[in-house]
Every structure is written in structure tokens, then in C-alpha cells.
Structure 1
Amino acid sequence: MQYGPYTTVTNVGENTAVWKLMVDNNNADNLGVVTLEVVDASDGGALLASRTITRQQFSSTWHYEFFTVPFYLDSWRSGHQLEYRTLWHQTSYVREDKVGVN
């Protein structure tokens, strides 16, 4: 669904990636609708953190909500290209407005 931005300016230490998402239905079931990943693209796609978001984790429909994934950036990864991925499970309509690091 979304890959990027391949940023190299993330601080060493504790970080939080933030996604702004919406869903069309939040009560049909509780299947995963997206998986959010933080990946080190400079290290062969090494997975730093991930979180699967289920339909019922959205408090409402057709309204953007923030979801976070905490991750730790080791000093030896400083300057590496980081990618914040949204993997769609094809179980619901999902829309993404933005992603960033807090």
C-alpha cells in the first residue's frame, strides 16, 4: 500500500513512527487490515518494528486516526535509509493520509 520515505535523518535511540489512517467498517470482524512496519532499507530490509492493526482498533469509520509503532534506532544504523511501510491485508477499505516520525 505504501513504502518510503527512505529518510536518513532519524535520531538514534527511542523513536515512534506515526501513521494517519481511516477504515470503512470497524465492526464486521476483527481481522487485521494493515501491518505497519519500520524497516532499515540500508541493511537489506531489516525489520526494526511492526504492528498489525485490526478493524476493531479503529474507534470510528471514515475518520482519520493515528496509530503508532515504537522502535529503537541503534547508533550503528545512524544515517541508514529508513522505510515506513503500510502493508494492506485486503480485508477492508483503508486510506492513509500520512506517515512520519515523532
Structure 2
Amino acid sequence: MRKYRKIAIILCLATLIAMLFNTTAFAAGSGDVAGAIEGTWTDASSQIKTVVNKVVFPAIDLILAVFFFAKLGTAYFDYRKHGQFEWAAPAILFACLVFTLTAPTYIWKILGM
């Protein structure tokens, strides 16, 4: 019985702390939550686009380039060992690299930004 009492006290304290630190959020004025979200998106979309173009795509390009050249090297060493060059993995990585290198020029038109 003592174990259940201890668990009940801990749960009550956790609930009390959660109720103490929570806050209620209201939409401004008319209660139009969708309008508030759309306004925030309109303001932030240019910043998101800049960050994705200057940080995300170059990081993905760098990772794909490293994997491409590493896979090309391992495929070459496999060729020297077995006499047959495996093209599938380097070709897929190269296609992905070309796709991500050219993506900033057309991806925003597709997304409508």
C-alpha cells in the first residue's frame, strides 16, 4: 500500500508542476488561428528559403560528394580485385548529387515560393 501511495504522490506533484508551468495561447483579436499561421509563414518564408539555399543544400551536396568519391574509390579497388566494375552505386550517388546541385534553381518554383 505504501508503494501505491508514493506513486500517487509523485503523480500528483508532477501534475501540479505541469499545471503551474503551462500557459494558454490565444489567437489575437478575432481568434483567427489560420490567419496568424499564414502571416507567420509569409514573414518567415524568405528566411527559410535563404537558409535552405545557403546551408541545407550545400551540406547535402558535401555529404553526397564525399559518399560518391568514396564509393567510386571502393568500386575501383573492387575492379582491381575482381576485374568487374560495379556502376550502380556510383551512378545513383552521382544522379543524387546532380539533383541536389541543381535543386535550388527549380525547387522553389515547384513549391510555389
TM-score higher than 0.5: no
Structure number with larger C-alpha Rg: 2
Higher fraction of strand: 1
- Using the size of structure 1 for normalisation, the TM-score is 0.23
Structure having the larger proportion of residues in helix = 2
